[in-house]
Structure 1
Amino acid sequence: MPYFAVYAPDYTDEDAINRRLAVRETHLANAAKNPAIKIGGAMLSPKEALDTPDAPKKMAGSLMIFEANTYADVKALIESDVYWTGNVWDKEKTVITPWVTAKPL
C-alpha cells in the first residue's frame, strides 16, 4: 500500500489552542486505534523553543504518515478527525501528498 504524508497546521487565531485541547484526548484515542496511521504527532512552535529546553512549547499543528490505498481514503480519515471537525486544523493549509520512504517504517 502507498504512504501519504499529511501536514496539518493549526489555525492561528487566539482560541485555536483551546479548541485543540478540548478535543485532544478524543483525537489521541481515535488515532491510537487507527491502523492506517504509521506515525504522527504535534508540530511545535516557536521554532526557537526547540533550542531552549526551558522555553514554553506550543502545539501548532500535526504531521502524520498514513498507509492507505488512495488519497481519497486518507482525505476521508483526515476530514472525519475531531481536529478537522472541531476547527483545529487549518482546512485551507492542510496538505496530503503521496510519500515514499527510504527506510521502511
Structure 2
Amino acid sequence: MPYFAVWAPDYTDEGAPERRLKVREAHLANAHKNPKIKLGGAMISPNEALDSPDAERKMAGSLIIFEADSYAEVKALIENDVYWKGDVWDKEKTVIRPWVSAKALL
C-alpha cells in the first residue's frame, strides 16, 4: 500500500485555537483507532519554539502519514475528521501528497 503525507495547517483567525481544543480529544481518540495512520502530530509555531524552554508554543497544524490504497481514501479520511468538520484545519491550504520514505528504501 502506498503512503501519503498530509500537511493540514490550522486556520489562523482568533478563534482557531479554541476550536482545536474543543474537539482535540475526539480527534486524538479517532486517530489512535485508525490503522491507516502510521504517524501523526501537531506542528508547533514558531519554528524556534523548541529551541528555548521559555518560548511560547502553539499548535499551528497537523502532519500525518497515512498508509492507504488511494488518494481518494485519504481525502475521505481527512474530510471526515473532526478537525476538518470543526473548521480547525484550513481547507484551502491542506495538502495531500504521495510519499515515499527514503529510510524504508535503505
TM-score, normalising length from structure 1? 0.97
Residue 51 (structure 2) pairs with residue 47 (structure 1): no
Aligned length: 104
Instruction: Give the equivalent residue in structure 1 for 2:85.
Output: 85
Paired letter, 1:34: N
Question: What is the match of residue 29 of structure 1?
Answer: 29
User: How far apart in 2 are the matches of 1:21 and 1:64?
Assistant: 18
Q: Which sections of structure 1, spanning at least 5 residues, go unmatched?
A: none
Identity of aligned residues (%): 77
Structure 2: distance between partners of 1:54 and 1:28:
26
1:20 aligned onto 2:11: no
Q: TM-score, normalised by structure 2?
A: 0.96
RMSD: 0.7
Deviations 1:34-68 (A, max 9, x none): 00000000000011222111212100000000000
SS at match of 2:25: helix
Q: Give 4+ residue runs of structure 1 displaced > 6 Å after superposition.
A: none
Task: Measure, in 2, the Cα distance between the counterparts of 1:43 and 1:59.
Answer: 6
Amino acid at match of 1:65: I
What stretches of structure 2 of length at least 5 have no aligned partner? none
Quote the Cα distance in structure 2 between the aligned partners of 1:72 and 1:96: 10
